[in-house]
Amino acid sequence: MNLALFDLDNTLLSGDSDFEWSQFLIEQGVLDRELFEAKNLAFYEQYKAGTLDIHEFLDFQLKPLSRHARKVLDEWHEEFMRRKVRPMMGDKARQLVAQHKTAGDVCVIITATNSFVTAPIAREFGIEHLIGTDPEQKNGEFTGRVAGIPSFRDGKVTRMESWLAERGWNWASFAVTSFYSDSLNDLPLLSKVKNPVAVDPDETLRKHAQKQGWPIISLR
């Protein structure tokens, strides 16, 4: 039995669903462009540079969820999938996922992006298992706070190992463990698996992958 882990944004997707969700809300007039667009861009640049304060970002990202009913958010998300997400889902990414599923591998998307945004995307890829940053909920509605450990940097390793333990597994339960990612932020988890794969990597990850002899591929 093998384990295949996939980062989502700029890996399986040719873009960032977190960033695009905020942009979508700005375009819908839900968020004020003047107040939110510059902040959204700044957080995205910090993420790419490896300097993001995840809790500051989550406060920015999750607060808007608490201001609207879940039913309304779900309706917006359907439009978001149509306009923003599906155009970022390329054939090569779909083929990679299909290859692992056909081989009978356990497939998991593990992403820092919150699970409200990413759960429908995981379903669209046909991947049953998702580990994302979980927004806190009360009576089915979002509170604007995060629940548990964000799935980011070392937190991805913690969340992954908890997920495995819940199922009676550990890293040694699998003949091959693979993780596909584009980001320097995923170096902690990439260093845990037997087969780390850099996908259209940022410059820091590219240099690290070349030094370590890790495969470098493109899904674009």
Predicted TM-score of the model (pTM): 0.95
Residue with tokens 């839900």: 30
**Does 39 score more than 90 pLDDT?**
no
pLDDT of residue 85: 98
Identify the structural domains of the chain with CATH numbers, from first to last: 3-217 (3.40.50.1000)
pLDDT of residue 40: 87
DSSP assignment of 108-144? EEEEEEEHHHHHHHHHHHT--EEEEEEEEEETTEEEE
Which of 9, 18, 105, 202 is the catalytic position? 9
107's tokens: 């497939």
| Contact status, residue 3 vs residue 108, Cβ threshold 8 Å | yes
pLDDT of residue 185: 96
Q: In the structure, what pLDDT confidence band is assigned to residue 177 with cuts at 50, 70 and 90?
A: very high
Task: Calculate the alpha carbon distances from 138 to 48, 69, 100, 141 in Å.
Answer: 32, 12, 36, 5
pLDDT of residue 174: 98
DSSP assignment of 57-101? HHHHHHHHHHTS-HHHHHHHHHHHIIIIIGGGB-HHHHHHHHHHH
39's tokens: 């902040």
Triad 176, 182, 184: Cα angle to 5°: 100
9 catalytic residue (yes or no): yes
Mean local confidence (pLDDT), 159-183: 98
**Does 184 score more than 90 pLDDT?**
yes
Mean local confidence (pLDDT), 125-134: 98
Residue with tokens 């991947």: 127
**Does 48 score more than 90 pLDDT?**
no
Mean local confidence (pLDDT), 73-98: 98
Mean local confidence (pLDDT), 45-56: 90
